[in-house]
Structure 1
Amino acid sequence: MTRLFNDPAAFADEALEGFAAAHRRWVRPVTGGVVRSTRTPAGQVAVVIGGGSGHYPAFSGLVGRGLAHGAAVGNVFASPSAQQIRSVARAAHGGAGVLLMYGNYAGDVLHFGQAAERLAADGIDARTFAVADDMASAGPDESAERRGIAGDLPVFKAAAAAAEQGLALDDVVRVAQRAGARTRSFGIAFSGCTLPGADHPLFTVPEARMAVGLGIHGEPGIGEEPLPTADEAARLLVDTLLQELPEDVPGPRGQRAAVVLNGLGSVKYEELFVVYRKVAALLGEAGVEIVDPEVGELVTSFDMAGVSLTLTWLDEELEELWRAPADTPAFRKGTLDAPVPDAGEPSAEEDADPAVPPASEDSRHAAATVLAALEAVAATVDTHVEELGRIDAVAGDGDHGIGMRRGSTAACGAAADAHARGAGAGTVLARAADAWADRAGGTSGALWGAILRSLGTALGDREAPDADRVAAGVTEASAAVRRLGGAEVGDKTMVDVLVPFAETLAAAVADGQALTDAWDRAATSATEAAAATAALLPRKGRARPHAEKSLGTPDAGAHSLALITRAVHGVLIRRPHEDHPHDHH
C-alpha cells in the first residue's frame, strides 16, 4: 500500500523532484528525467535508460559514472514520452551518439523508437535496445516478445561500462545485444502492489499460494502454486533458469555468471539473504561460478511482495564490464573518485513555444468544435476512469484509466491554449496530440497522439472541415495506429474498434450521409466491436501472457475508444451546422 502521497496524478513528478534534491552529488534534473551531475565526456557514447515510475532504483537511481548517463522517467508504470526521452538524451549527449535502453514493453518500444527518430532529425546518432529477459512472458522460440524485468540492470551495466571505456556506438550496441542474449530472469510473487491513491492492489494471491512468473507492473503471474519455503523458492528459481541456457553456453558446469536476486518491494533484505544462501548452494552444485552477486531491491514494483532471479552468463568481455566500477545513487561497485558536479550546468535547450501558424476563419471556427470534442473526451474519460482501470487490471496493469485521464486532460489544456491564440483546427489537434502523448506516456499515449495528429493533418488550417476530410483523417488514424502498434483486428486491442469505426464512417460519408449521421452509425459499430472484444484472446501487449484471464472482459483500450466516439457524437449533434457549414457534399 502506498501511504504517503499528495495528488496521485502528481506522484511521479514529486518523487523525481525529491530524488534529484536528495542526490545532487550524482544527478541533476532536466525536463523529462535526470542526467549525471557531471557532463558526459566529449566523444563518449551516452547511455540513456528509462521507463515508468514505481520501479526505483530503476531507472533514475542507476544514473552515474559507470552506469547510465541519463534516465527518462515516465508516470507510474507508464513509459516516458518521446519528448521526455529526447530532452534527456540531448542533455546527456557528449557528441558520440546515444544508446536508448529500456524494458521490452509496447509503450516503451513506441516512445523510445520515436525519440530516436527525433534525435536523428536533430543530428544525433541514436540507437535503441530493448531488454527482454523474462522467461515467463514468452517461450524460447519467441524470446523477442519477452518483457524486460530485473535483467535490465546487468544489460544496462554492460553497455554503460563499454561506453565508459570509450567504445564507439556500434560496439556499445553490440555489447548490449550480447549481454541481452545471455541474460534470463524469472520471478514469483505473494501479493500485488497498490498504486498511489488506489484502495486495492492490482492483483491478489490466495492465502498460502504464490503467483509464478509475475511482471513488474503489477501484472498477475502466469500460474499459481502452493506457498514455498525459502529453499523451495530458491530451487524453483534456479531450476527454471538452468532449463534454458543461451545457445552458445553448452551447459552450466564450468560457466561463470552474474547473479541478481531482486526484491520487488516488500520482501525484505533478510528474507532475500535466506533465499540467496540456497541459490548460491544450488548454482555451486550445478558447477556455476558466481561473479559479484547482487542481492537487494534493484527493479521494484511499488510494494509488491515478490522476488526474481537473474543470471547473465559471462564471457571474458562481459565479466570485465560487469566488474567495472560504478557510482550511482542506488548502485555502487568498486571505487571511483567522488564526482565534482558541473557548476551551473545549463539544461538542454528547450524548444521555444512555437508560434501558431496562420489559419482561415473557417478553420478557426471549426477549431471551437474540435476543442468542445476534446473537452467531451476528457469528461467521458473522467467519468469512466475507475471502470477503465478495473477492466485493464484483469490481465494488464490497471493504469489505463489513469493514463487516459492524464492524456485527455493535457490535450484539452493544449487545445484550449492554441484555440485562444487563433489556431486553426489542424494546429489545435496537433498541439493536443503532442500534449496527450507527452503527458500520458505508455502505449495508449503514443497511439492517441497518432490518432489526433492524423486528424489534424487531414483537417489542416486553411479549409472548412467537411465530412470527407474528417473520414479521411479517421481512416489515416486507423492506419497510423496499426503501423505504430503492430496490432490488427482480432488481437484484442483498440484496433478492433478503430478499424470498424473508420470503415463505417468512410462508407456512410461515401453514401452521402451528413457527418453527424455518419458518425452516429460509426459510433454504434464501435460500441458493438468493443463489446465483442470480450470474446477475444489478447495477442499483443501486456495482457498477452494472461490471455485466458481476459476472456469475458472487453479490452480497456477498445472500450475507452468506443465511449469516446459516442461522446464526440454528442458534440456534433449540439453544433451541427454552426461549425460544419460544409457537412453535406
Structure 2
Amino acid sequence: MTRLFNDPAAFADEALEGFAAAHRGWVRPVTGGVVRAVGTPSGQVAVVVGGGSGHYPAFSGLVGRGLAHGAAVGNVFASPSARQIRSVARSAHGGAGVLLMYGNYAGDVLHFGQAAERLAGDGIEARTFAVTDDISSAAPHESAKRRGIAGDLPVFKAAAAAAEEGLPLAEVLRVAEHANARTRSFGIAFSGCTLPGADHPLFTVPEARMAVGLGIHGEPGIGEEPLPTADEAARLMVGALLKELPEDVAAPAGQRAAVILNGLGSVKYEELFVVYRKVAELLADAGVDIVDPEVGELVTSFDMAGVSLTLTWLDDRLEQLWRAPADTPAYRKGAPAAQEPATEPAPVAEDTDDTRVPAATEQSRAAAATVLAALNALTDTVDTHADELGRIDAVAGDGDHGIGMRRGTTAALRAAVRAHDLGAGAGTVLVHAGDAWADRAGGTSGALWGTILRSLGTRLGDQDAPDAEAVARGVSDASDAVRRLGGAEVGDKTMVDVLVPFADALTEAAAAGDPLTEAWQRAAVTAEKAAAATAGLLPRKGRARPHAEKSLGTPDAGAHSLALITRAVHGVLPDHPLDQH
C-alpha cells in the first residue's frame, strides 16, 4: 500500500513537484506536467505523452532527449485534463507541430482529443495517437479497442526518435502507427494496488492464484489461474504473445524483437531476472533474435504485484529507432550529446482569468445562489457515497469512480464559490465549475461532467432568471454533448443510460407547464429507475467492457452517481427556487 502521503487529493501534484525538483537537469515544471529543461529545438516536432499518475516512470520520467518533449500528468489513475495537455503542448511546441501520445483509455481519448482541437485554435498543428498493445483487452479483429500498457514505451520511443531526426509531423505519426501495429503486451498480477489514502486494494487475488490479463489501473484480470513458478509465468506470457503475431510477420523464426519485461510495482528486480532468463530461452527456441531487452519498472501501477511482457517486432527502421540514444530521468540508452545547460523559456500565458467574470443581471446572480446550493448538495452526496461508487466501479472497472467524482465535485464547488463571490451569474458559475471539474478530476467522468455543467451554463447565461424550460433545454444540450463527445448511446451501460431519460422527462414536464421543482422531481424518479436498470446491461464502452459479464447484476457507477446527484439537487430547489412559477 501507499504509506507516505499528506493529503491524498494533493498526492499527484506533490509527487510531480518533487520529481521536477529532483531532475532539474532534464525537466522543468509547467502547468499540467513537465517539459524538457532545454526546450524543443526550433523546427522539431514535439512529442507530448501523458496519462494519469501512479505509473512512474511513465509518463514524466520519459521526458528528455530521444524520448518525449513533454508529459501531461493527471491525477492518480485519471487522464490529465484538456487544459493541462494544452498547457504542456504549448510549452513544448518547437514550431513544427505536436504529436499527443497516450494509452487507449476513454478519458485520455476524450481529453487529448479536446486538447488537439484547442491547440488547432491556437494555430498549432496537433495530431493524437493512442497506443493499443494489450492483447487481453480485445480480440484481434477489434484491436483498435485495446488499451495501452507497457507497449507505450517502444511506441513513444519510435515516434520521438523519428522527431529527433527532423521528420515532419505526418511522418512521425506514421512511425507511431507502424510501431504500434508491431507491438503486443500481456500481463499477470498476484495482488492489487492500493491508492493513497485508501484502506484496501482496488482488487484482490485469492491466495495461491494469479489474475491473468490485467490492466495497469487495477482493472481485474480476464481470468484466474493457479499461482505459477517463474518459468511457468514466462511460458504463459511468451506463449500468449507468440500466438498473435502482427499481420506482416509470418512466423517468429528469424525475426528480431525488442523485449520488455516490466514490473508493475512490487515485483523486485531479482524476481524479474529469474523470469527473464526463461523468457530469453523460450524466445531463442522460437528463433527470435532479441534486440536491446529492457528488464525493470517502466510502466507501473503503484504497489501492484505483477509483471507484463512486451514484444515489438522489429524491421530495419524500427530497430534503428529502438536503438537510438535517449537520455531521460528514468530511461537512458546510448551516448547522447552532452546535456545543454538548462534555460528558462518565457512562460506560456494562461488563457483563463479567475479575477474577472462577465456582467450579470440581478436575477441571474440570484439564480447563481441556487446553483451554488445545488453544487454544495451534490458535493456532499458524492462524498457520502464515494466508497460505494468505488465498490460498484471495481466490479468490472478500476474502482476509482468515487475518488474521481470526489475530486471533481470538490474542485467544481471551489471554483463556483470564487465565481459567485465575484458577482457572476448562474451561467458563468456553472461554466467555471464545469471547467474546474474537468481539470481536477480528469478521466472520462471529468470530461463528461465538465461538459454537462458547461453546456447547462452556456444555455442559462447570465442575463435571464432561469425557468423550467430553460433548465430543460440546458440539460438536453448536455445530453447531446455527452453523447457526441463520449460516443456512448442508451444501452451501452454508461451515464448516458440515465442522462438521456432524465433530460427527456425534464423536457416533457417543463413543456407541460410544471414548475422547475416538480419537473425536476419527476425527472429524478426517472433517473433513479434508469440507473437501477443498468444492472441488467452489459457494458459496451469504457474500461468495464473487457469484463462485461462480471458487471451483470451491478448498476453502472457513472449512471448511479448521476441518479444520486439528480436527487440531491432536487432537495435544494424548494428552498432556492430558480423560477417564480
1:527 is matched by which residue type in structure 2?
A: E
2:249 is matched by which residue type in structure 1?
A: V
CA drift at 1:490: 1.2
Please list, as runs of the form range in 1=range in 2, the aligned pairs for 1:524-543 lying within 5 A after superposition: 524-543=525-544
**Residues in 1 aligned to 2:427 and 2:351: alpha-carbon distance in whole angstroms:** 20
**Which deviations, in whole Å up to 9, do the C-alpha atoms of 1:123-172 show, x marking residues without a partner?**
00000000000000000010000000000000000000000010000000
**Residues in 2 aligned to 1:185 and 1:390: alpha-carbon distance in whole angstroms:** 28
Secondary structure (helix, strand or coil) at the match of 1:100 reads strand
**Residues in 2 aligned to 1:390 and 1:5: alpha-carbon distance in whole angstroms:** 23
Percent identical: 81
Match of 1:136 in 2: 136
- Which deviates further from its counterpart, 30-39 or 340-349? 340-349
Please list, as runs of the form range in 1=range in 2, the aligned pairs for 1:549-560 lying within 5 A after superposition: 549-560=550-561
Secondary structure (helix, strand or coil) at the match of 2:571 reads helix
**Residues in 2 aligned to 1:564 and 1:176: alpha-carbon distance in whole angstroms:** 41
CA drift at 1:392: 1.1
Match of 1:366 in 2: 367
Asked if 2 retains the 8 angstrom alpha-carbon contact of 1:424 and 1:462, the reply is: yes
Secondary structure (helix, strand or coil) at the match of 1:150 reads coil
Match of 2:146 in 1: 146
CA drift at 1:227: 0.9
1:385 is matched by which residue type in structure 2?
A: A
**Residues in 1 aligned to 2:350 and 2:485: alpha-carbon distance in whole angstroms:** 26
**Residues in 2 aligned to 1:341 and 1:265: alpha-carbon distance in whole angstroms:** 33
**Which deviations, in whole Å up to 9, do the C-alpha atoms of 1:219-265 show, x marking residues without a partner?**
11000011111111111111110111111111111111111110000
Please list, as runs of the form range in 1=range in 2, the aligned pairs for 1:402-441 lying within 5 A after superposition: 402-441=403-442
Match of 2:490 in 1: 489
CA root-mean-square deviation: 1.0
Is structure 2 residue 94 aligned with structure 1 residue 101?
no
Is structure 2 residue 324 aligned with structure 1 residue 332?
no
**Residues in 1 aligned to 2:424 and 2:203: alpha-carbon distance in whole angstroms:** 45
Asked if 1 retains the 8 angstrom alpha-carbon contact of 2:493 and 2:541, the reply is: yes
**Residues in 1 aligned to 2:36 and 2:124: alpha-carbon distance in whole angstroms:** 19
Is structure 2 residue 244 aligned with structure 1 residue 223?
no
2:227 is matched by which residue type in structure 1?
A: L
1:175 is matched by which residue type in structure 2?
A: V
1:417 is matched by which residue type in structure 2?
A: R
Secondary structure (helix, strand or coil) at the match of 1:95 reads coil
Secondary structure (helix, strand or coil) at the match of 1:224 reads strand
Match of 1:472 in 2: 473
Task: Report the count of equivalent residues.
Answer: 580
**Which deviations, in whole Å up to 9, do the C-alpha atoms of 1:282-315 show, x marking residues without a partner?**
1111111111010100000000011100011111
Asked if 1 retains the 8 angstrom alpha-carbon contact of 2:515 and 2:579, the reply is: no
**Residues in 2 aligned to 1:367 and 1:548: alpha-carbon distance in whole angstroms:** 43
CA 118–507 in structure 1, closer or farther in 2 if over 3 Å, else same = same
Match of 1:580 in 2: 579
**Residues in 1 aligned to 2:499 and 2:474: alpha-carbon distance in whole angstroms:** 12
**Residues in 1 aligned to 2:249 and 2:496: alpha-carbon distance in whole angstroms:** 41
Secondary structure (helix, strand or coil) at the match of 2:573 reads helix
Asked if 1 retains the 8 angstrom alpha-carbon contact of 2:28 and 2:35, the reply is: yes
**Residues in 1 aligned to 2:426 and 2:546: alpha-carbon distance in whole angstroms:** 41
Match of 1:82 in 2: 82
Secondary structure (helix, strand or coil) at the match of 1:49 reads strand
- Which deviates further from its counterpart, 266-275 or 336-345? 336-345
- Which deviates further from its counterpart, 214-223 or 396-405? 396-405
Secondary structure (helix, strand or coil) at the match of 2:2 reads coil
The TM-score normalised by the length of structure 1 is 0.98
**Residues in 2 aligned to 1:418 and 1:289: alpha-carbon distance in whole angstroms:** 61
CA drift at 1:352: 4.6
Secondary structure (helix, strand or coil) at the match of 2:174 reads helix
CA drift at 1:475: 0.8
**Residues in 2 aligned to 1:220 and 1:352: alpha-carbon distance in whole angstroms:** 39
1:494 is matched by which residue type in structure 2?
A: M
**Residues in 2 aligned to 1:375 and 1:204: alpha-carbon distance in whole angstroms:** 34
Match of 1:35 in 2: 35
Match of 2:383 in 1: 382
Match of 2:158 in 1: 158
1:430 is matched by which residue type in structure 2?
A: V
CA drift at 1:340: 2.5
**Residues in 2 aligned to 1:95 and 1:192: alpha-carbon distance in whole angstroms:** 43
Secondary structure (helix, strand or coil) at the match of 2:574 reads helix
Match of 1:544 in 2: 545
- Which deviates further from its counterpart, 404-413 or 356-365? 356-365
2:291 is matched by which residue type in structure 1?
A: V
Asked if 2 retains the 8 angstrom alpha-carbon contact of 1:26 and 1:341, the reply is: no
Secondary structure (helix, strand or coil) at the match of 1:101 reads strand
**Residues in 1 aligned to 2:42 and 2:132: alpha-carbon distance in whole angstroms:** 31
Asked if 2 retains the 8 angstrom alpha-carbon contact of 1:132 and 1:147, the reply is: yes
Is structure 2 residue 116 aligned with structure 1 residue 116?
yes
**Which deviations, in whole Å up to 9, do the C-alpha atoms of 1:315-349 show, x marking residues without a partner?**
11111000000000000000113322433333322
- Which deviates further from its counterpart, 232-241 or 418-427? 418-427
**Residues in 2 aligned to 1:232 and 1:477: alpha-carbon distance in whole angstroms:** 51
**Residues in 1 aligned to 2:351 and 2:469: alpha-carbon distance in whole angstroms:** 34
Secondary structure (helix, strand or coil) at the match of 1:217 reads coil
**Residues in 2 aligned to 1:206 and 1:384: alpha-carbon distance in whole angstroms:** 27
Secondary structure (helix, strand or coil) at the match of 1:573 reads coil
**Residues in 2 aligned to 1:25 and 1:166: alpha-carbon distance in whole angstroms:** 23
Unaligned runs of 5+ in 1: none
Asked if 1 retains the 8 angstrom alpha-carbon contact of 2:137 and 2:147, the reply is: yes
**Residues in 1 aligned to 2:342 and 2:265: alpha-carbon distance in whole angstroms:** 34
1:422 is matched by which residue type in structure 2?
A: G
**Residues in 2 aligned to 1:96 and 1:15: alpha-carbon distance in whole angstroms:** 31
**Residues in 2 aligned to 1:343 and 1:229: alpha-carbon distance in whole angstroms:** 50
**Residues in 1 aligned to 2:258 and 2:117: alpha-carbon distance in whole angstroms:** 34
Match of 2:400 in 1: 399
**Residues in 2 aligned to 1:219 and 1:166: alpha-carbon distance in whole angstroms:** 38
Match of 1:69 in 2: 69
**Residues in 1 aligned to 2:501 and 2:120: alpha-carbon distance in whole angstroms:** 35
Match of 1:298 in 2: 298
CA drift at 1:69: 0.3
CA drift at 1:387: 1.1
**Which deviations, in whole Å up to 9, do the C-alpha atoms of 1:456-485 show, x marking residues without a partner?**
111011111111110011111111111111
Asked if 2 retains the 8 angstrom alpha-carbon contact of 1:100 and 1:129, the reply is: yes
Asked if 1 retains the 8 angstrom alpha-carbon contact of 2:494 and 2:539, the reply is: yes
Match of 2:254 in 1: 254
1:288 is matched by which residue type in structure 2?
A: V
Asked if 1 retains the 8 angstrom alpha-carbon contact of 2:150 and 2:299, the reply is: yes
- Which deviates further from its counterpart, 97-106 or 529-538? 529-538
Asked if 1 retains the 8 angstrom alpha-carbon contact of 2:492 and 2:541, the reply is: yes
Match of 1:315 in 2: 315
Asked if 1 retains the 8 angstrom alpha-carbon contact of 2:261 and 2:310, the reply is: yes
**Residues in 1 aligned to 2:382 and 2:241: alpha-carbon distance in whole angstroms:** 42
**Residues in 2 aligned to 1:330 and 1:521: alpha-carbon distance in whole angstroms:** 55
**Residues in 1 aligned to 2:33 and 2:346: alpha-carbon distance in whole angstroms:** 15
**Residues in 1 aligned to 2:550 and 2:130: alpha-carbon distance in whole angstroms:** 26
Match of 1:279 in 2: 279
Secondary structure (helix, strand or coil) at the match of 1:538 reads coil
Match of 1:446 in 2: 447
